[in-house]
A and B are shown apart, each in its own frame.
Chain A
Amino acid sequence: MKATPPMKPLLELVDIHKHYRGLRAVDGVSMTIGQGTCFGLLGPNGAGKTTLIEIVEDIIDPTAGTILYKGASRAAQFRQEVGIMFQQTALLSFLTVAETLETFSRLYEHTESIGHLIQLCHLEEVNGQLNDKISGGQKQRLLLALALLNRPELVFLDEPSTGLDPQARRNLWDIIKTVKSQGRTIVLTTHYMEEAERLCDDVAIMDKGKVIARGAPPALIETHCRRATLSVPKAQFPETPGDLQGLINQRGDRIQIRTENVNAVVSTLLSMGVDMRGVTLQTPTLEDVFLKLTGRSLRE
């Protein structure tokens, strides 16, 4: 599947394959990623997201396919211009947070001020602590700081908020939003749909090594899950549903009405004299799209 990029493409993936002893981890993925966008790569466990992103990051080689960065093959300069936050990374032992940032900053030609990064990623309190003595959220923020150390044009974030509590996750999202507001291109993999919906301008859903859907989150919802759900307390619902007969479904003590035309249903309910207090509206989310496209069966 190939979608039209929203802006000038920074990355172009052409027919990428990665096979492991007969397993097609990535199976013919082609797409472009626009400059300045926050691109989300979604998929269930084992869909091939991390394999694909590591191929793009130049960490592993594809079995076949081409990757272009700024219209050309990735050269040595690629590593100077990209920042990467891996899904699972240990850090050098017996080094403090500040020393870790200092060590990595020496590996690049142009770097951000370490003080600024410590402030941006809220690492002031753990600045002098050893890497293995900080919490999971602090470690994720340190890994994000390392990914931003070289003032990258392109930032890869592989499941950045996995394992974090809600507060730490939202804190991380705020930092990512700040990075995004600086005009940097972000490639984010996640299986948190809320994360993708909040952060990404453009998402691709992967399953079994292939991209099965692509677009902006509202557009994907509009295309794949148009029906909203109105929920009315059963006690307030008329005994004769009239025109709504084919749309209703009883769930416990509530009647659910699934419709693409919320306005029409609300008008009908009002005309039937339904008390609208206690009526709730649930609009479809990216998670609905995800489950519709990838199914509900357990993976891994």
Chain B
Amino acid sequence: MRFKRLWAIFSARNREFFRDRAAFGWNFLFPFLIILGFGVIFKGDYQSQFKVGLFPIAPGASVHRSTDLLPESFAAFEAVSLVAFETRAQGMDKLKRHKIDLLIEAGTQPIRYWVSDSSPSGAIVERLLKGALPASDSGAQFEKKDIQGIQIRYIDWLFPGVLGMNMMFSALYGVGWVVVRYRKNGVLKRLKATPLTAFEYLAAQLLSRIFLLMFTLVIVWVGCDWILGFRVYGSLANLFVVFLAGSTCMTSLGLVIASRGTSEEFTNGLLNFISWPMMFLSEVWFSIEGAPAWLQASAKIFPLTHLLKAARQVMNEGEGLFVVMPEITILCAMSLAFLLAGAAMFSWNK
């Protein structure tokens, strides 16, 4: 491998990115507008279904059997999804991270509940709960408890999701789609005629995209933080490591998609097939807490799930690298597998 050749392609790709003003602007503008939109303009309900945690529920027991003391119209309401937790600590953990909107201790009279004041859905579901009983009784039958420790604003929870989603689209389309286009119009064939090796080319694409993703991340972060003032409870350096692992993994996935094919239409379909489920199941916008176990398990095949889990642990809960190491390890293992598959399947002209 010659570093000079790798650097030549790395530089050329970066120049293309920075000079393509439309795409360049879009890469920054898109996440910024989303964050701004959710953080400033949209202050109401952000999901159609409310998740209410209930504890203590023994493993395997039906959550609906523990709703005896809850108002029936509330427990049976279609828009309310009940999620079981064994302990209060588990439920509180999810509540703090906006995975659920309200937490209730089952079998208590008056009904003891916790709700995050920073959650737009929490306020609504609290009113739903109180409104489920006659107005004369409601004051006496509820006991609102304070959440101890850090309370996370919804925008702080959403922010890593939007950054991760932007990273995912940029990595998949910026590598997968672009390389296929280059294969189709003969640029790759021209490069094949030079001493450049496939490994050097792929490595240059990988490094260039990681550099551009991290560059975009920093700019978007600074811009959004300047306007909305994010709270980061963990170390920024740790967060950088998490995003670096995530961008490497998703760019590697982009290289797998880019490894073969000359049809931009097919590649576009493939990219949509991968990116849309990843966006919805990786908890970019909303939690899948309470979803069927198989769905939650299948979400773990997506790199974005692990990236967001680790990023939120660092950003929202102040955890260190040791705690998020399992997610970083998974991202690194996925990256290695994607890189090996991409390199094995890569073709300059087929």
Contact assessment for A103 and B195 in the assembled complex, using a CB-CB cutoff below 8 Å:
no
B345 at the interface (CB under 8 A from A): no
Contact assessment for B193 and A91 in the assembled complex, using a CB-CB cutoff below 8 Å:
no
A74 at the interface (CB under 8 A from B): no
Contact assessment for A84 and B193 in the assembled complex, using a CB-CB cutoff below 8 Å:
yes
Across the two chains, which residue of chain B brings its CB closest to A57? B193
Closest chain-B Cβ to A69's Cβ sits at a distance in Å of 14
Complex-state Cα separation, A80 to B5, whole angstroms:
13
Contact assessment for A103 and B187 in the assembled complex, using a CB-CB cutoff below 8 Å:
no
A192 at the interface (CB under 8 A from B): no
Majority secondary structure of chain A interface residues (helix, strand, loop or mixed)? loop
Q: Mark contacts of A58-94 with chain B using CB atoms, 8 A cut-off: 1 yes-contact digit, 0 otherwise.
A: 0110000000000000001001101010101111111
Across the two chains, which residue of chain A brings its CB closest to B191? A107
Contacting residues, chain B, for A59 (C-beta < 8 A): 189, 192-193, 348-349
Contacting residues, chain A, for B9 (C-beta < 8 A): 103
Task: Knowing A103-B8, A106-B8, A107-B5, say if A94 contacts B20 (CB, 8 Å).
Answer: yes
Number of interface residues of B (CB under 8 A): 25
Task: Knowing A89-B190, A91-B190, say if A106 contacts B20 (CB, 8 Å).
Answer: no
Contact assessment for B4 and A106 in the assembled complex, using a CB-CB cutoff below 8 Å:
yes
Contact assessment for B195 and A107 in the assembled complex, using a CB-CB cutoff below 8 Å:
yes
Complex-state Cα separation, A59 to B347, whole angstroms:
11
Q: Mark contacts of B5-20 with chain A using CB atoms, 8 A cut-off: 1 yes-contact digit, 0 otherwise.
A: 1011101100110011
Across the two chains, which residue of chain B brings its CB closest to A92? B12
Contacting residues, chain A, for B11 (C-beta < 8 A): 103
Task: Knowing A89-B187, A94-B16, A95-B16, say if A108 contacts B192 (CB, 8 Å).
Answer: no
Contact assessment for B349 and A107 in the assembled complex, using a CB-CB cutoff below 8 Å:
no
Q: Mark contacts of A96-118 with chain B using CB atoms, 8 A cut-off: 1 yes-contact digit, 0 otherwise.
A: 00010001101111000000000
Complex-state Cα separation, A59 to B9, whole angstroms:
20
Complex-state Cα separation, A95 to B182, whole angstroms:
14
Closest chain-A Cβ to B182's Cβ sits at a distance in Å of 8
Contacting residues, chain B, for A60 (C-beta < 8 A): 349
Complex-state Cα separation, A99 to B14, whole angstroms:
13
Closest chain-B Cβ to A163's Cβ sits at a distance in Å of 15
Across the two chains, which residue of chain B brings its CB closest to A105? B8
Q: Mark contacts of A103-145 with chain B using CB atoms, 8 A cut-off: 1 yes-contact digit, 0 otherwise.
A: 1101111000000000000000000000000000000000000
Contact assessment for A91 and B187 in the assembled complex, using a CB-CB cutoff below 8 Å:
yes
Closest chain-B Cβ to A184's Cβ sits at a distance in Å of 16
Contacting residues, chain B, for A94 (C-beta < 8 A): 15-16, 19-20
Contacting residues, chain B, for A91 (C-beta < 8 A): 187, 190
Task: Knowing A79-B193, A86-B193, say if A92 contacts B187 (CB, 8 Å).
Answer: yes
Contact assessment for B195 and A86 in the assembled complex, using a CB-CB cutoff below 8 Å:
no
Complex-state Cα separation, A57 to B192, whole angstroms:
10
Across the two chains, which residue of chain A brings its CB closest to B19? A94
Given contact pairs A59-B348, A88-B186, A93-B20, a sample of 13 additional A-B residue pairs in the complex whose CB atoms are under 8 Å apart: A59-B349, A76-B195, A89-B189, A89-B190, A90-B185, A94-B20, A95-B16, A99-B15, A103-B9, A103-B11, A106-B4, A108-B195, A150-B194
